[in-house]
């Protein structure tokens, strides 16, 4: 009888959260595993969830207006935290900041559509702010053991067109990131579509043991003002992050490893229109010591990009690069980086190492070499054809001094140029004996 009474009370709790359509099937969590490359351990086990909260759609057919869903979403996470799942299978508008960094043992079943309001003046004042590169966010997830999945149906729409048009006239406009993991320990994001972020699509910050898989990213401007800075993913102060099996059509780095990214794997990505898969930029802030270490980039197809594999660090002095983006003078190191099995299709550079990022004056680069050292880097098994932009050159590996770049190797590289001429690689302060490519000096 006591057990029966507990079951009745538990059933009443479920109904009190949000009514659930008995005929509606809730998508089950996919099997979570990283591979084929792994950080050397299985993805952390996540127990079964035992309660469900359903968030009603925010669309109102009577007046054709959308209300802010943020309060209802927040309420659902409060009620289903610690062992539940929150179901978002309708249409929702988020028009106010949503802080979900308190979560523990929660699944998020996102098979509906979430759209963010484009009230620029409001978001500039009310978004979550990050000191690093003037970043901001609409919402953020954090805590422990959080799995967010959409089965290929869930859609996050950044409603970016108003931001693209405004940024064209105000290049210092503070634009929010579409999706932020901040302080998450053991979590996953799988099976989502992401469209038209105002700025970066994803930031993984201050997090550990993160799996990202089967994400479809695309950006498109409907005006003459292009989308800017639409990085696919940026990792920052995070350890053991795996990003895999995804498609990215964007306007900036496909993936970028920002300061203090360690033990990162990126694999099975198809990237188009990006700035490559990039280490950096690093050394931007004089008071900071930046580290990117133990990164493996595997099985990548990169098309119509400015770069394929890229490492970029700032010079040793302050450098004004773009409105709202300047830096230099910081220190640190890049160590144990591998780019393996990498297809290039119409990329300007197949490989770029730049130790004077943001500065075009070579005299300044020579006078103020970077304080960031680069060592133990391997590029291998790369092929394809570059664009005609720098033909016959297909890559550039430029370091401040031989002491700043140590043990950088290239093996089995067969990248061609459109003209069919012998591919040339610009190599400065490199150990040519480790480079199985046709190196020429910058002045050749």
Instruction: Kindly report, residue by residue over 40-99, the tens digit of the pLDDT.
Output: 999 999 999 999 999 999 865 445 467 999 999 999 999 999 999 999 999 999 999 999
Catalytic residue positions, numbered? 275
Task: Return the pLDDT at 11.
Answer: 42
Q: How far is CA 58 from CA 37, 72, 133, 197, in A?
A: 41, 9, 33, 21
398 with 373: CB under 8 angstroms? no
Task: Give me the pLDDT at residue 16, please.
Answer: 35
Cα gap 370→390, rounded to integer Å? 25
CB neighbour list of residue 400: distance below 8 Å, 6 or more residues apart? 315, 355, 356, 365, 366, 369, 370, 429
| pLDDT-flagged residues of the chain (< 50) | 1-19, 22-23, 61-62, 64, 444
Q: What pLDDT does 442 receive?
A: 66
Q: How far is CA 81 from CA 10, 53, 101, 339, in A?
A: 15, 10, 11, 40
pLDDT of 336 reads 98
What is the per-residue pLDDT for 324?
82
Helix ranges (H only) for 81-182 are 120-126, 161-169
∠ CA 50-53-54, rounded to 5°: 140
Nearest alpha carbon to residue 259 among 193, 332, 314: 332
The three-class DSSP label of residue 370 is coil
Chain mean pLDDT for the chain: 93
**What is the pLDDT, as a whole number, of residue 323?**
86
CA 387 – CA 272 distance, rounded (Å) = 13
Superfamily of domain 253-444 in CATH is Single-stranded right-handed beta-helix, Pectin lyase-like (2.160.20.10)
Tokens 């086990």 identify what position? Answer: 45
Task: Give the closest residue to 247 by CA, choosing from 273, 224, 227.
Answer: 273
Structure tokens that stand for 355 in this block: 């130790």
How would DSSP label each residue in 401-424?
Answer: -TTTEEEEEEEEEEEE-TT-SPPE
| Rounded Cα gap, residues 246 and 365, in angstroms | 37
Q: Say if CB 387 and CB 429 are below 8 A apart.
A: no
Q: Calculate the alpha carbon distances from 373 to 194, 256, 273, 334 in Å.
A: 35, 18, 29, 6
């Amino acid at each position: 009888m006591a057990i029966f009474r507990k079951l009745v009370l538990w059933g009443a709790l479920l109904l009190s959260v949000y009514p659930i359509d008995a005929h509606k099937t809730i998508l089950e969590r996919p099997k979570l595993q990283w591979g084929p490359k792994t950080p050397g351990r299985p993805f952390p086990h996540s127990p079964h969830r035992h309660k469900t909260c359903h968030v009603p759609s925010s669309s109102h057919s009577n007046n054709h207006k959308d209300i802010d869903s943020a309060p209802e979403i927040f309420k659902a996470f409060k009620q289903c935290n610690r062992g539940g799942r929150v179901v978002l299978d309708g249409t929702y508008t988020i028009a106010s900041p949503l802080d979900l960094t308190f979560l523990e043992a929660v699944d998020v079943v996102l098979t509906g559509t979430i759209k963010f309001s484009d009230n620029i003046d409001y978001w500039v004042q009310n978004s979550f702010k990050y000191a690093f590169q003037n970043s901001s966010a609409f919402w953020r997830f954090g805590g422990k053991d959080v799995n967010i999945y959409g089965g290929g149906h869930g859609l996050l729409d950044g409603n970016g067109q108003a931001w693209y048009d405004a940024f064209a006239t105000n290049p210092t406009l503070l634009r929010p990131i579409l999706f932020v993991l901040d302080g998450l320990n053991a979590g996953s994001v799988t099976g989502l579509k992401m469209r038209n972020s105002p700025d970066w699509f994803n930031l993984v910050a201050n997090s550990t043991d993160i799996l990202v898989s089967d994400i479809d990213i695309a950006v498109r401007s409907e005006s003459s003002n292009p989308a800017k800075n639409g990085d696919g993913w940026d990792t920052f102060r995070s350890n053991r992050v795996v990003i895999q099996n995804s498609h990215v059509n964007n306007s900036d780095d496909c993936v970028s490893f920002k300061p203090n990214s360690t033990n990162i794997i990126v694999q099975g990505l198809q990237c188009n229109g990006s700035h490559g898969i990039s280490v950096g930029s690093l050394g931007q802030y004089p008071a900071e010591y930046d580290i990117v270490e133990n990164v493996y980039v595997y099985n990548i197809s990169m098309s119509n990009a400015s770069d394929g594999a890229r490492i970029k660090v700032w010079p040793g002095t302050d450098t004004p690069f773009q409105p709202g983006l300047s830096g230099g003078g910081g220190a640190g190191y890049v160590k144990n980086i591998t780019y393996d099995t990498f297809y290039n299709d119409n990329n300007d550079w197949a490989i770029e190492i730049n130790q004077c990022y943001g500065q075009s004056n070579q005299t300044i680069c020579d006078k103020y070499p970077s304080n960031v050292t680069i060592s133990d880097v391997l590029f291998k098994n790369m092929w394809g054809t570059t664009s005609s932009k720098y033909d016959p050159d297909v890559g550039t590996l430029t370091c401040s001094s031989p002491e700043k770049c140590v043990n950088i190797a290239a093996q089995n590289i067969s990248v061609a140029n459109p003209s069919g001429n012998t591919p040339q690689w610009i190599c400065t302060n490199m150990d040519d004996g480790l480079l199985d490519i046709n190196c020429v000096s910058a002045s050749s």
